[in-house]
Structure 1
Amino acid sequence: MTSEWNPGLYQSSYSFVWEYGRDLIALLAPKPGERILDAGCGTGQLTAEIARSGAQVAGIDTSAAMIDQARGNFPDLHFRLQDICTMSCHAEFDAVFSNAALHWVLRADDAARAMADSLKPDGRLVAELGGYGNIRALIEAVRLALESKFGTAPERVNPWFFPSVAEYAAILERHGLEVTFAALFDRPTALEGGARGLANWFAMFGGPLHGELRQPAFVELVEQFAAPHLLRDGVWFLDYRRLRVAARKRLR
């Protein structure tokens, strides 16, 4: 399934998404001549950073708008519209890289299977995604707002995939990827836009939520419940927790 984003807003107000991913490239350690897949490439900034190493890199994303922007930003690089769960590129890559994308993929086993299949034997995966407890205070504010508005809230409010270290390691291992490094850590992040910061975040990243839950009146209700925990001196801070992982495809 494709997803649509606002690449202009993404680039102007959410550059932290790829700025924080730059040191993930150090863990990847790309080498000249290697073939590397950037899974969930967005507007292509980290794809271009990998390419500067001399590696041959291809970027994929499920958003046509993001791919169009990436091609405009970096016309000499290769980008294509592709769902990671359905890609077919057997033993094509030396490494798969993914930053801030895999928590959008609820079919985690399918994604792990496809990434493993795309790697050459002993190929490596380096990824960072939202981890267990990511934006917990915000999700709790959404739950409280639902109860306030409708008198009840679904058992699962979180529409994303935020696994623990053990959960994600087990998924990768099931598909022949041996985990060599994994860490879960906090990354509180200030949002641009002042008092509008959280509403803007919902406009950018709230796509998985039901349409009614992205309406201004409901977002204002969420802000009321979230403010004691996430609003400091007029600036919204999100309680991000990130899962960083490295793995190698087992030799058969």
Structure 2
Amino acid sequence: MDNTATDFKNQWNAELYDSKHSFVSELAANLVELLSPKPGECILDLGCGTGYLTHKIASLGAEVIGIDSALSMIEQARKNYPQLDFEVLDAKKLPFTEKFDAIFSNAVLHWIKEAEEVVIGINRALKPGGRFVAEFGGKGNVKAIVSAIYNALEKSGYPADVALNPWYFPSIGEYGSLLEKHGFELTYATLFERLTPLEDGEQGMQNWIKMFANSFFNGLPTTVQISTLADIENQLRPTLYKNDTWFADYKRIRVIAIKP
């Protein structure tokens, strides 16, 4: 087993994100088409990561600010695209008032359990008539992977604390109702399956867990981490490992909502 598989120290390793998880941004290229940025529009990329999609939006003529709560991601984004504006900001505490023509977010909102605080801030930050375009994990996202993690931890004698689950995966009804509660007009919503190939061959699932699911392993002895990861792989291999490639069982929500 790769001896880096047990390195769970850094929740947001920007270099690992860019080198092993570029699919996160690349699969959302057509989400930018849904955003349909216009030259001169002021757009917020909420949870910009290392800046790939911020740059793509800017290349279409919009004025873009990229924000992320992770300093490591913002530092990498500034290195990748020094001509763009990136700031460390908490999505739950957006400081803007009627500044943006659109707010864009990819693969971020499922990390923030305080969803209502985020929606309130997005509403306040948009100009009247502004649009909110987002994709994130929806109900049932990575269900097989999470089940395998829970099963493996249980067998290892370290039952998972549900509070360590970092994700918020709402249904369309749940999230649509939240948007409407705060004055948005929901114009588009879909929940779809996206079986997603992971990079780096045999190490793909380990790398995914190390990057995105490390909170489940906080405080576990190294030997337990190694055996638990092996158990997770054994559980998932029959369904999520094909032709020397690991897959993640993603289910994604996409929404477009307008602030009247």
Normalising by structure 2, report the TM-score.
Answer: 0.90
Relative contact order: is structure 1 or structure 2 higher (C-alpha 8 Å, sep ≥ 6)? 2
85, 102, 113: which one aligns with 1:78: 85
2, 5, 8: which one aligns with 2:15: 8
The residue matched to 1:36 in structure 2 has which SS? strand
Does residue 117 of structure 2 align to residue 110 of structure 1?
yes
State the alpha-carbon separation in 2 of the partners of residues 71 and 155 from structure 1: 35
Does residue 231 of structure 2 align to residue 224 of structure 1?
no
Where does residue 233 of structure 1 map in the other structure?
243
How far 1:4 moved relative to its partner? 4.4
**CA pair 58-155 structure 1, distance change in 2 beyond 3 A:** closer
**CA pair 156-64 structure 1, distance change in 2 beyond 3 A:** closer
Equivalence map 1:1-252=2 (5 Å): 4-150=11-157, 152=159, 154=161, 158-212=165-219, 215-250=225-260
The residue matched to 2:215 in structure 1 has which SS? coil
The residue matched to 2:50 in structure 1 has which SS? coil
State the alpha-carbon separation in 2 of the partners of residues 61 and 123 from structure 1: 21
State the alpha-carbon separation in 1 of the partners of residues 258 and 86 from structure 2: 24
Normalising by structure 1, report the TM-score.
Answer: 0.93
The residue matched to 2:229 in structure 1 has which SS? helix
How far 1:143 moved relative to its partner? 1.8
How far 1:212 moved relative to its partner? 4.2
Runs of 4+ displaced beyond 4 Å: 151-158
What do the CA deviations read for 1:25-80 (whole angstroms, capped 9, x no partner)?
11111111111000000000100111111111000001101000101111110000
**CA pair 117-168 structure 1, distance change in 2 beyond 3 A:** same
Any conservation in 1 of the 2:136–2:254 contact (CA below 8 Å)? Answer: yes
How far 1:223 moved relative to its partner? 1.4
What do the CA deviations read for 1:98-146 (whole angstroms, capped 9, x no partner)?
0011111111000111111100111100000011111111111112112
Q: Which moved more, 1:52-61 or 1:222-231?
A: 222-231
Structure 2: runs of 5+ lacking an equivalent: 1-9
Q: How many correspondences in the alignment?
A: 248
Give the share of equivalent positions with the same residue, in percent.
Answer: 46
Any conservation in 1 of the 2:20–2:207 contact (CA below 8 Å)? Answer: no
Q: Which moved more, 1:210-219 or 1:30-39?
A: 210-219
The residue matched to 2:39 in structure 1 has which SS? coil
Q: Which moved more, 1:155-164 or 1:24-33?
A: 155-164
**CA pair 236-4 structure 1, distance change in 2 beyond 3 A:** closer
**CA pair 39-181 structure 1, distance change in 2 beyond 3 A:** same
The residue matched to 1:183 in structure 2 has which SS? strand
